[in-house]
Chain A
């Protein structure tokens, strides 16, 4: 049983693979050449170019590579293959006649294999008819044999029976492929094979003729190939000259995108044409074709254009722009009706400009994209990357140049697109780099086109304002985000924040495309870092919370693939994500980011935890989950060695801060090396030291207030090394915010602490208020869910209303007497609204 099973299985496998093989073969005819040894290498090129016709031609040529030198039998590939198959088929028929199914099966397999090898040939001339006849007959005789087997008392031997059975299966499957042919055959079994024989001869002749006619055409290409004497096969020399320049251009344009087109040759032809071309019109036409030909080389999303090619494209684009600048009467536009293919040289007349069809902006986009792609693919830690990065100046100058060109011919859409490109090259760079790039560009370009901007902010501002005025909404959004990023980079927190809030970007960013969301996330992160540099810890924390708190920082900022947890991403998704990655030089330092986030979290969370104390409700109010998790993990460790990385330092600092040892905390924070990456690291450290002192004081008061009835302000000031005035201000703030129930006695300079605990009823009432609110919410949700066919439920409604009333009352009471705080917090809520980009 199992053996039978296995046999059946393997056979189906095999025929499956047969099938797929056949498919691939017929798909790529060209490759079948490499299979057959007899196609000489010399002919290879020709065969490729002329496709199918060439093969017959080649078949009729003498086979010089054949190993057997003595017997120089001239056979075409087709004949050779078919002979093999025919042999196999004949012996198969013999086998089936004498009821030897084992050998029949073997021969059948051989025939099929031969058929596969000849797939290229078959695709042209069809399946050999003798094969079809044999296969059709085979099926019949198998059936007959099986019936005989059933009826006869004498059994076949086991292997034979098995072979017969598996043959049945195979043939069935096999014949399905040739259903039509078999039908044809069955209609007229007698004449079927003869037809073919008659057919064969004229076909071959015809093919030959075609080849001869073809050779003329081919010769052009070949001529370009060797690059010496442009002599065709017919002995006719091929010249590139003024007359045929348009014809050649058209040929190239027609050949573009076709399967057998040799791109290198095309480029060579075009290069020659460029030398020949002398009028600006011709030159522009040739350059346009040449640039797009360069881009044709790079196909596929994962690969990137090779650097020399890219440089070529850059060069051609530059010379194209130079040409256009020099000849202002020629204008390249996208929406120009195709000019009649005349061989005439178009010259502007009476000041009427000549319009040429083409899309410069598409070239610019492509050039920029390819640049990004290459940066994505080059290892950023090699010199290659740096070398590649040096090309950016050239790219940037092309962009600036084309922007100037578009401005001259008033193509608003293209201007905004190039302006956006320009902005995207600049927004994340510090001042010095921008100025350097601008100066380099100015040096590269003629003075009429670009003049260097000395102030980067003015430049960015100009670019953005232009986009705000003219561009589509997507570009406006993106430029707004770039602008915000730029402001944040220059420590103008409030300007950046106001732009972010006034644009209401955060409300709609969820609907934006992924790259825009990534840009938004970058701007948010930069804003957070800016707030941190300015010493606004709380703002910094809220800005960073949504990005750093998720644990998917890499993904949200498109700075590397985050490890897949469930293997959920399909290869396509992963590929998409890979395409989205930012080049390395645009990255925001993730370690620094984490360090800033954790430090902010520490400064906020430690007093918060001290305030919550042992109160279980208070403990629920978590500012930063990741921070808490890390702290928990750290405190669970039995032995903790000296801090090694940034995280250890911050955790150590957090612990000593909560113990009131602020000096140690400051020491630990200052020992973090990554601060050096921040501009003005010393100032930041100083700021942090000050903050730690303040938060240390707050933590101390929260933690120990219950043990004191009054504390001397002087003593507090001495303890935390703070001036008395700031101690008073901190304590007053705490009292005002109702974080500390105390009052300041200014006569004796002490903080008098009141010990007021809410009574049981009060705390219960508070808890109840929360519960009731939840209750109402639940009821409302249920009502919303109510499916249409459900009957009214008056009871539910009444119940909800009642509870709602009580809930509201209670809530109003819990709001507290001072409404001032809510207003202040709104900003933070507004800010803390980041977007999860990533896969969708």
Chain B
């Protein structure tokens, strides 16, 4: 890449172009998958490196972050800085463009993730969050999502004002906390070439062995034919665990939601109580004033009624928003799962006839 620097400079100038899609290098994908799968069931995170070009965020490199980084925030950032320096030395992209996180069954809507992403997006307006769902990936298709916080949410989060009114004004609901970007996976030319070669290789393995010795040793195994053959994970018929897991999670979330409901109802009741008191006071005042004017006295001075009756502050709706989002997530997952599953079941039924 000869004009890397120029390009970035040029891009910085017109930095207002919003990102509309994410392009992941195959290697990055593999690295993420590997990292996430190794550390199941713990949630792990890592850094993404790359550059945004004309609204497309190209992610060319990634590295995992060490675990339990919440104990020592400094260590983590030190590690990051050092890692970046090392990467620069070996001449890899060292421009941070976001981070990734593993998740299990789409269970990622929580305060810390939001906060993290918020900080990222504050510092780097074009950063992105890649969510890799390990459990769902194991069902056959790899599951990656590229997410960004919406500007409306960013604004509200900055102000830390999650009242009902603010939410309505910003037209913010659980479905537009995040915007999802389409992901494309790109292979380098070399890799594509290799793949092509592999595809044709099964007829004449010998031909390619001369320059691909490492490959030969593995590919020469009897099952070698299926190296790039389609995966049959998709046809897995153990469907119950997935649904069960989803339902369990869903129920937990609903319990959380129930608690939020309780909080909110409590607040509503207390507001109502205060309002009633206030109304009673005002009415009292009014009759008193009427009486006084009738008897020729000066009406009572207007006091600051609002100061006398303090209406309790509305509880933050953020939690509720996230929980709703989470419920939505689960519901979607079950929905998404249900369609193909039904198809599978019918297919199996037909086969068994």
B28 located at the interface, meaning its Cβ lies under 8 Å from any Cβ of chain A in the complex: no
Known: A764-B248, A775-B257, A787-B275. A759 touches B265 (CB 8 A): no
The answer to whether B264 has its CB under 8 Å from any CB of chain A is yes
Tell me the count of chain A residues lying within 8 A, CB to CB, of chain B: 29
State the Cβ distance, B238 to closest chain A Cβ, in Å.
Answer: 11
- CB of A754, distance to nearest CB on chain B (Å): 21
Cα distance A792–B164 in the bound complex, in angstroms: 9
Does chain B have a CB within 8 A of A98? no
Q: For residue B254, which residues in chain A have a CB less than 8 angstroms away from its CB?
A: 771-772, 774-775
Q: Which residue of B lies closest to A764 (CB)?
A: B247
Partner of A761, one of B167, B244, B272, B324: B244
Q: Which of A761, A768, A785, A794 contacts B265 (CB 8 A)?
A: A785
Q: Does B303 contact A (CB under 8 A)?
A: no
Known contacts A791-B165, A795-B174; A759/B240 CB under 8 A: yes
How close is B136's CB to chain A, nearest CB, in angstroms? 17
Instruction: Tell me the bound Cα distance from A789 to B324 in angstroms.
Output: 24
Q: Is the CB of A761 within 8 A of B164?
A: no
CA distance A17 to B251 in the complex (A): 69
Q: Is the CB of A778 within 8 A of B258?
A: yes
Say yes or no: A791-B268 contact (C-beta < 8 A), given A760-B244, A767-B251, A775-B257: no
The reply to whether B265 and A782 form a contact with Cβ atoms under 8 Å apart is yes
Least CB distance from B169 to A in Å reads 9
Q: Are A779 and B173 in contact (CB under 8 A)?
A: no
Q: Which residues of B have CB within 8 Å of A782?
A: 261, 264-265, 268
Main secondary structure, interface of A, reads: helix
Chain A residues, CB < 8 A from B327? 799
The reply to whether A771 and B251 form a contact with Cβ atoms under 8 Å apart is yes
Q: Mark B223-257, 1 if CB is under 8 A from A, else 0.
A: 00000000000000000100110011011001101
Residue of B nearest to A759 (CB): B240
Q: Does A790 contact B (CB under 8 A)?
A: yes
Residues B243 and A786 in contact, CB atoms below 8 Å apart: no
8 Å CB contact of A793 from B168, B248, B255, B269:
B168
Does A436 sit at the interface, judged by CB under 8 A?
no
- B271 in contact (CB, < 8 A): yes
Judge whether A622 is part of the interface by a CB distance below 8 angstroms: no
A821 at the interface (CB under 8 A from B): no
CB pair A795–B173 under 8 Å, yes or no, is yes
Contact A768 B275 (CB under 8 A): no
Contact B258 A775 (CB under 8 A): yes
Contacts of B250 in A (CB 8 A): 768
| B261 and A761 contacting across the interface, CB-CB below 8 Å | no
Q: Is A781 in contact with chain B by the CB < 8 A criterion?
A: yes
Asked whether any CB of chain B lies closer than 8 Å to the CB of A765, the reply is: yes
Chain B residues, Cβ within 8 Å of A791: 164-165, 168
Question: Would you give the shortest CB distance from A806 to chain B, in whole angstroms?
Answer: 8
Chain A residues with CB below 8 A from B164, complex form: 790-791, 793
Chain B hits for A787, CB < 8 A: 268, 271-272, 275
In the complex, are the beta carbons of A778 and B247 less than 8 A apart? Answer: no
Nearest-neighbour CB distance to chain B for A439, whole angstroms, equals 64
Q: How far is the CA of A789 from the CA of B269 in the complex (A)?
A: 13
B261 and chain A: residue at smallest CB distance: A778
A794 / chain B contacts, CB cutoff of 8 Å? 168, 173
- Residues facing A in B148-167 (CB within 8 A) are 164-165, 167
28 contacts between A and B (CB under 8 A): A759-B240, A761-B243, A764-B243, A764-B244, A764-B247, A767-B247, A767-B251, A768-B251, A774-B258, A775-B258, A778-B261, A779-B261, A782-B268, A785-B265, A785-B268, A785-B269, A785-B272, A786-B268, A790-B164, A790-B268, A791-B168, A793-B168, A794-B168, A794-B173, A795-B173, A798-B173, A799-B327, A802-B331
Q: Which 7 A-B pairs have the closest CB atoms?
A: A795-B173, A764-B247, A778-B261, A761-B240, A785-B268, A761-B244, A771-B254
